[in-house]
Amino acid sequence: MAFVVLGICGSIAAYKAADVASSLVKAGHEVHCVCTPAALNFVTPLTLHTLSRNPVICNLDDEMTDWMPMHIMLAQKADVLAIVPASANTMACMARGLAPNALTSLYLATRAKVLFFPAMNTQMWEHKATQENVSILLSRGHSVIGPAEEGTLACGTTGKGRLVPVEQITQAILNCI
């Protein structure tokens, strides 16, 4: 059984993280969800708590229940940190070492394998700043899987930017365990 931390960012694709959490639990793994504040616009902690069978961390104030901050404990126990979906904002924070929330703070504290599954508008994905941030993350030995090559995005444009299928995400995580 592996210990998987599932980071969820603000993107319309955040609802698919619930399916990923459910799939990993069904496969016998321990799953802990950590949401950015923006993720809560798209998915609820109750859904993730129910499917992961573990409390959900949404902000650093959620961590006041024990002497060790939860983001540090999760970072130390994680076998894999999977960011599903990875927003441009969170990838930029992580690439630049910024820690404005529980997920980005956890990232700085973990030594686990890190997988990013980007989902964003095509222009955001193709922007030079985003591509530089992806290069930085890749240079650290992290994996960036996706976005899907083509498709209609929630914003109405067509192009690269959609989250890869849940089955592909789950398989990539399982391959790291």
Q: Which two tokens stand for residue 158?
A: 């067509």
Q: Point out the residues that are catalytic.
A: 155
Q: How does 136-175 read in b/e, with b if 16+ C-beta sit within 10 Å?
A: bbeeeebebbbbbeeeebeeeeebbbbbbebeebbebbee
Residue with structure tokens 């904002």? Answer: 89
CB 3 within 8 A of CB 33: no
Residue 64 phi/psi, 5-degree rounding, is: -85, 20
Query: For residue 100, which of 136, 59, 139, 150 has the smallest C-alpha distance?
Result: 59
